[in-house]
Amino acid sequence: MAEKNKTHNDTTDREIAISRLLNAPVKLVWEVFTNPEHIAKWWGPYGFTNTISKMDLAPGGEWHLVMHGPDGTDYKNRSIFKEIVPYKKIVFQHIAPNFIATINFEERGEQTSLNWHMLFETAEEFIQVVKTFKAGEGLKQNVEKLEKYLSDVPADDEISFSRVFNAPVELVYKVWSEAEHLAKWWGPVGMKMNVASLDFRPGGVFHYSMLTPDGHEMWGKFVYKEIVAPTRIVFTNSFCDKEGNATRAPFNPKWPLEVLNVLTLNNEGGMTRLLMTGKPINATEEECKLFLEMRSSLQQGFGGTFDQLKAYLASLIK
């Protein structure tokens, strides 16, 4: 009887929809949806990471995305943008499986109403995708990751680093909080780490040295400001001498004396998403400007450090 009453235009048997009020202004929400550097960091269900090779945000433009599953499987995605209305609407057609995604953005003061709709070409394809890939739950997790990412987007005076590690939050926290572990991965690639002392508590200090391949020694320290096990560590980082007195950076005397870092660790399907933001404190305008100008160099340097962390975590899990 239900089939008889179903109209020709009824698509309820082949669509998924979700609505959410996001605690972020529409310009920021639009930015993290349309900037490949942002969307690659939050797109997809928990445990997935992304590589974007093309994202031409214009009607007829293509979006090429590879989603890397927690088990190492790669899922290639190709979409074609159909409609772009800045700060209001994105429509794209996904190829194989075939569906149309319509994402509407509505400004609500400093918040944004998000309405995300997916319409599959056929009911059969909808059923297959829902059963095989749990598309409904995947969309829900996608929006949850978006919400979390929006809450962590750095301010204009900060830089940020984000990585997903195939390790539980508790283990990632452990290797950030114990000297024997920090000595195995912290620091730039090629440096030999030596831990002088570690007092892991608010007000405590991590004092260490780094030896370059040519034998040059540099000293640094953390001063811990806030610790919430196992999800949050706030600390200042600075160069120092052997006695722990703050010094100027050996590579540039105009580098800020202190950088405040906020590290958060979040569970994503048994994996850990690490987000760290950093910004100078008690710094001159010139020092802050230099810090932001070196954003790319810092991203590259911390990329190597986090590669070392990834390898070290893998060695502990084996």
**Where are the chain's structural domains?**
2-152, 159-317
Overall size of the chain counted in residues: 318
196 touches 183 (CB < 8 A)? no
Which pLDDT score is estimated for 7? 47
CB 137 within 8 A of CB 145: no
Coil vs helix vs strand at 169? helix
Whether 49 contacts 164, CB under 8 Å: yes
Q: Which helix (H) or strand (E) holds 278?
A: strand 271-281
* 102 token code pair: 């319509």
Decide if 2-152 and 159-317 have a common fold.
Answer: yes
CB contact set of 253 (below 8 Å; sequence gap of 6+): none
pLDDT tens per residue, range 249-281: 988 888 999 999 999 998 888 899 898 989 999
pTM of the predicted structure, to 2 decimals: 0.60
In the chain, which stretches have pLDDT less than 50?
A: 1-7
- What pLDDT shows up at residue 3? 46
**What digits encode the pLDDT tens for the residues 123-168?**
888 888 877 777 788 899 999 999 988 887 766 678 888 888 999 9
Indicate the SS3 state at residue 313. Answer: helix
Q: Which CATH superfamily is domain 159-317 in?
A: START domain (3.30.530.20)
| CA–CA separation, 229 and 237 (whole Å) | 20
What is the model's pLDDT at position 2? 43
Mention the CATH class of domain 2-152. alpha beta
